């Protein structure tokens, strides 16, 4: 593989780190007080799920998320932080990439009507898949430094 400036593995690390920074920005700009104290994030998602054209989305939300809104708020917010840190640092990278891919797919399905969000979720899912299949943790990662996932 020929590349410019960096090696192919280094460019994949740049892609992985960029994705991690994207997740960290997602976490940083969240109104955590609103999510944790007022339940704004889960209430918004409940409204979206309640109007969803696919009944399994509404049913799944009512069974999994709605009974435990405070817990799910913490899960969503801190999952984004964990994904960002894992990808930027390259720690447990395959786990972070799979987790991010699944979270983006969940967001994609939940917000199927919101075309503005779909581009972001589709691109983040694609980057996760490419970074996973190309084993982007081989360079510039804690995983490589300690010999994980070789």
37-68 residue pLDDT tens = 999 999 999 998 988 989 999 999 999 999 99
67-100 residue pLDDT tens = 999 999 999 999 999 999 999 999 999 999 999 9
> Which DSSP string do the residues of the chain spell out, in sequence order?
---SSS-HHHHHHHHHHHHHHHHHHHHHTS-HHIIIII-HHHHHHHHHHHT-SSHHHHHHHHHHTTT-HHHHHHHHHHHHHHHHHHHHHTSSHHHHHHHHHHHHHHHHHHTTT-HHHHHHHHHHHHHHHHHHHTTGGGSSSHHHHHTTT-
């Amino acid at each position: 593989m020929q590349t410019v400036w960096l090696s192919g593995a280094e460019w994949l690390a740049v892609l992985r780190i960029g994705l991690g920074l994207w997740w960290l920005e997602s976490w940083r700009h969240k109104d955590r007080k609103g999510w944790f104290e007022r339940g704004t994030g889960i209430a918004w998602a409940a409204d979206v799920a309640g109007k969803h054209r696919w009944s399994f989305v509404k049913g799944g939300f009512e069974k999994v998320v709605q009974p435990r809104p405070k817990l799910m708020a913490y899960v969503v917010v801190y999952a984004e932080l964990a994904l960002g840190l894992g990808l930027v640092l390259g720690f447990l990278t395959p786990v972070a990439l799979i987790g991010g891919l699944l979270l983006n797919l969940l967001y994609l399905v939940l917000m199927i009507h919101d075309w503005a969000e779909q581009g972001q979720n589709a691109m983040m899912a694609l980057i996760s898949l490419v970074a996973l299949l190309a084993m982007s943790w081989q360079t510039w990662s804690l995983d490589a430094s300690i010999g994980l996932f070789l």
